[in-house]
Amino acid sequence: MKTLDDLIAEGVKGRRVLLRADLNVPLDGDRITDDGRVRASVPTITALTEAGARVVVAAHLGRPKGGPDPKYSLKAVAERLAPLLARPVPLAPDCVGEATRAHAQALKPGDLLLLENLRFHPEEEKNDDGFARQLAELADCYVNDAFAAAHRAHASIDAITRHLQPAAAGLLMQRELSALGRILEAPERPLVAVLGGAKVSDKVALVEHLIGKVDALVIGGGMAFTFLRALGHGIGRSLVEPDRIETARAALEAARRRGVPLTLPVDVVVADGLDSPSGRAVGVRQIPDTQMGLDIGPRTVERFTAVLATARTIVWNGPMGVFEKPPFAAGTVAVARAVAAAPAFTVIGGGDTIAAVNAAGVGDKIGYISTAGGAFLEFLEGRTLPGVAALTEAV
């Protein structure tokens, strides 16, 4: 695919570049609580402005319901970008329309304009061609740096490339595809995948795909209980997806046939509920009928750590328990530290997983931290991402 370097080499000075960035950050009121995605967008913005491009940045924030909502304005993002770029970041009144078009046309080489939230227009998520054409009118070429949204066939990601060419990959997009491609295409082995989180249904396709790719699979979190139930264990009031028990059983059988070790918890931390002040570790055969498993236990941590210590490549998505509750955080924190300590190239993705490695204080010891959640999973499943497929092929 055409890259940002290709585009700059062809010459962007004085040209208007529409940059689709990922600025979908968590907010507490008008305060950004994690600016990781904003910081990740800075290298591509800087490269374009320093090359003399007139940069129009487009992004979405949250899930506004069909129209403008001050709660989801990108004003807070503009204010955070300004000190990171050491320059003012003007915010357009909208992402399309005459006033916005006038702002874009008035830009000088090296100038920057941030468009207001794309999702203030329902046409964005509908991949509406007319809306895409309006966005395309703001620029002369296109760069997609929003890997975290690349699994969405939305107007600013897919349809726009029918009207705005060339369409190149930004620096963050390139880094994401390189790191994840390294896992799927040419990993140093053994390759170990660690999956957690609440639901099997969110990751069933990923489990099926990875069984044919990895040397070992480790499963924890809420999703592990559906697998334990498939093995015939009583799981008390733990999270389970009854309609996925057969799917879990089939995955266990597929792993057995292929000779891929699939490691499940051997003990869990149980309690009466999420708000319990503490829990206790029990074997997976001793989960009380009245209690629920909310974290992996210490013997499971040892077991998972032993598997990770053998790896040369690790990919991890999903916490091992309800780690946002302090009594049930130990398992996830321990796995984060084991991943960081392993003699392996490590890649993690998903907001909860990123929060976990940061809580464990090992974020700087992870090989690559993906900004994506859904796109991260779909890429690992082997799916074609619309935002990647839409990019111009390199000559």
Report the catalytic residues.
37, 199, 351, 374
Q: Are 184 and 224 in contact (CB under 8 A)?
A: no
- The DSSP output letter for 91 is B
Q: What share of the chain is helix, strand, coil (3-state, %, to 5)?
A: 40, 15, 45
Ramachandran assignment for 18, one of left (phi > 0), alpha (psi -120 to 50 degrees), beta (any other): beta
Cα(368)–Cα(176) distance, integer angstroms: 8
What would you measure as the largest C-alpha separation in the chain, in angstroms?
Answer: 69
- Distance (Å, rounded) from C-alpha 215 to C-alpha 233? 26
**Cα–Cα distance measured from residue 118 to residue 312, given in angstroms and rounded to the nearest whole number:** 41
With 0-12 / 13-18 / 19 or more C-beta atoms within 10 angstroms meaning exposed / middle / buried, residue 245 is middle
Q: Please say whether the beta carbons of 16 and 53 come within 8 A.
A: yes
CA distance 80 to 82: 6
In angstroms, rounded to a whole number, what is the distance separating the alpha carbons of residues 285 and 299?
A: 14
d(CA 190, CA 79) in angstroms, rounded, equals 44
Beta strands 31-32; 262-263: pairing state: unpaired
Helix H or strand E segment including 300: helix 298-309
**3-class SS of residue 135:** helix
DSSP lists the bridge partners of residue 194 as 218, 316
Report d(CA 201, CA 191) in Å as an integer: 23
DSSP code, position 3? B
Give residue 341's identity as a one-letter amino acid code: A
Of 156, 179, 221, 189, the closest CA to residue 18 belongs to 156
Angle at Cα 369 formed by Cα 346 and Cα 378, nearest 5°? 90
